[in-house]
Structure 1
Amino acid sequence: MRPQVVAHRGASHDNAEHTLGAYVAALDAGAEGLECDVRLTADGHLVCVHDRSLRRTASHRGTVSTMELAELAELDFASWKNPWADLDDEAPERDAEHDKVLTLRKLLEVVADYDRRVEIAIETKHPTRYGGLVEKRVVELLRDFGWDGPGTPARVMSFSYTALQRVERLAPDIPLVMLIDRVEFWPMLRRVIGDDWIVGPGIDELTEHPRFGQWITRSGHDMHVWTVNTPTQLELCRELGVKAVISDRPAYLLELLDN
């Protein structure tokens, strides 16, 4: 069975990550799932932003947690990806809304309104000044969409075991993905994570430690792997029976799989 292709922060190889433009491009390419990172603004909105600081993606000195949504909405979250776009006379005209900060609610609306089933993997970032409030708000928002029960298209991911425990207590039916970026964490995590939790190792760890993937497979947990962008990486995931591959290049991976 071939793995589900999930767009990492949207089609982020060619588009500014976490923008509506990146997610629309991923959907147009046929991505079967979308992945996003979420943080809370000072006034309690969940926004799709990876870094704590806004310096890299919005050329701003502030941090997400100290700014209100209205302030973030004034920033440009796309120009950093292609700073010379204004000089390209042949570039298609862009929708300004596609380049602004994206709220999780807006992204869920896009998924809900799409003409086929699209799954969404939501990563909560830690540490954060708001602690468990992030998971509480994520579950509340999923509940608004009726996505907190069996059959939900949503799953929650985190490198924080405690964060996933919070989600499990609040909404036991939402699938959980325990992200792992270091192979040495596995012996401890294997003993404490839930039997039905998914394990999310990074592709670099699987490549550098060939037995790591086999250990996870033998444990009976499904695997969702990040960030898979090359034919060699995809082939390794297929050999291991990985259920989902999270990629910056969803169109390219779909093409490889179809061929």
Structure 2
Amino acid sequence: MPTVRPQVVAHRGASHELAEHTLGAYLEALDTGAGGLECDVRLTADGHLVCVHDRDLRRTAANKGIVSTMELADLSELDFAAWKNPWADLDDEAPDEDQDLRGVLTLRKLLETVADYDRRVEVAIETKHPTRYGGLVEKRLVEMLRDFGWDQAGAPVRVMSFSFTALQRVERLAPEIQLVQLLDKPNYWPMLRRVIGRDWIVGPGIKMLRDHPRVGESIARSGRDVHVWTVNKEKDLDRCLDLGVKAVITDRPRLMLDLLEQRLGPAE
């Protein structure tokens, strides 16, 4: 019987049910009982960190604009939730939704929401690269974490990236912030295991673990904490439990929490 109960981290919020990276999706994840929230951050033209995955807005806001060339005021005029349920306007009986739950979400607003919540919730923040702003993204991120006093050991945040250089940058700026080296190619692991920091977490993708089980076993044996993305299926959760991973990042936090309760009993 597995003994490690992994933290359930809501990938871009409860993004299976609600539009990713919206405040509505994160509040749903919190209400569900997720232990952590995951977000991607990009820098706007006027220096704001916003929770957006893609470099452009075609998929999530029906707009051809590029996040890094737009100001926050321009982004605030867009609807980031309509794409998830394009027929909602035809439902005359649907309740009016608070527009704050549908618009662009700044990282500051997300962190304020977590800081004010009535239980500890952790936030996994991924910086996206390449970007026109390079290291400025990490610099602004660390400055914001300092505003919250979350640049110290024990803070409820960790910074993730596929970019080893980006994580080194964060480590120089704030050595106590927890770091997660994301990984999606099995041939990168032999090199990364030699160069990443002793206390860094490894974040492999579930597809890589499925396709290359020996790499997953090697990562598990490395003695490092392992956080796996994006775990949405029962058999993938079971694979993670077998490997003893410490966190599963999922679009479906409610499903993962229910499955964990079935396997391991109620959380304490």
Length-normalised TM-score, structure 2:
0.96
1:140 and 2:143 matched? yes
Aligned residue pairs total 259
Query: Which position in structure 2 is the counterpart of 1:178?
Result: 181
Match for residue 49 of structure 1 among 48, 52, 72: 52
CA deviation string 1:220-247 (max 9, x = no partner): 1110000000110000000000000000
Match status 1:254 vs 2:257: yes
Distance in 1 of aligned mates of 2:223 and 2:5: 18
Letter in 2 for 1:226: W
- The alpha-carbon deviation at position 213 of structure 1 amounts to 1.3
Q: What does residue 265 of structure 2 align with?
A: none
The reply to whether residue 96 of structure 1 matches residue 99 of structure 2 is yes
Please list every run of at least 4 consecutive aligned residues from structure 1 whose deviation after the TM superposition is greater than 3 angstroms. Answer: none
2:134 corresponding residue in structure 1: 131
**3-state SS of paired residue (2:47):** coil
Aligned position for 1:75: 78
Map of 1:217 onto structure 2: 220
**Quick one: which of 188, 208, 233 aligns to 1:205?**
208
Give the match for residue 161 of structure 2: 158
Alignment deviations for residues 148-198 of structure 1 (CA, whole Å, 9 cap, x no partner): 001100000000000000000000110000000111111111110001100
What residue is the counterpart of 1:119 in the other structure?
122
For each residue in 1:1-41, what CA deviation from the matched residue of structure 2 results, as whole angstroms up to 9, or x when unmatched? 21000000000001000000000000010000000000000
1:38 is paired with a residue whose SS is strand
Aligned to 2:191: 188
In structure 1, C-alpha distance between the alignment counterparts of 2:161 and 2:8, rounded to whole Å? 19
Shift of 1:94: 1.0
Cα offsets for 1:55-80 (capped at 9, x unmatched):
11000011000000000000010000
Task: Supply the distance in 2 between the matched residues of 1:77 and 1:167 (Cα, whole angstroms).
Answer: 29
- The answer to whether residue 95 in structure 2 is matched with residue 62 in structure 1 is no
Match in the other structure for 2:266: none
TM-score by length of 1: 0.99
Partner of 1:235: 238
Amino acid at match of 1:51: D
Residues 98-118 of structure 1: per-residue CA shift (max 9 Å, x gap) = 000000000000000000000
| Mapped pair 1:13 → 2:20 | no
RMSD of aligned alpha carbons: 0.7
Question: 2 CA distance for matches of 1:199 and 1:68?
Answer: 34
* Secondary structure of 1:61 counterpart: coil
Alignment match of 2:88 (pick from 85, 88, 91): 85
Shift of 1:91: 2.6
Structure 2: give runs of 5+ residues left out of the alignment.
263-268
Unaligned regions of 5+ residues in structure 1, if any? none
Aligned partners of 1:131, 1:46: CA distance in 2, in Å? Answer: 13
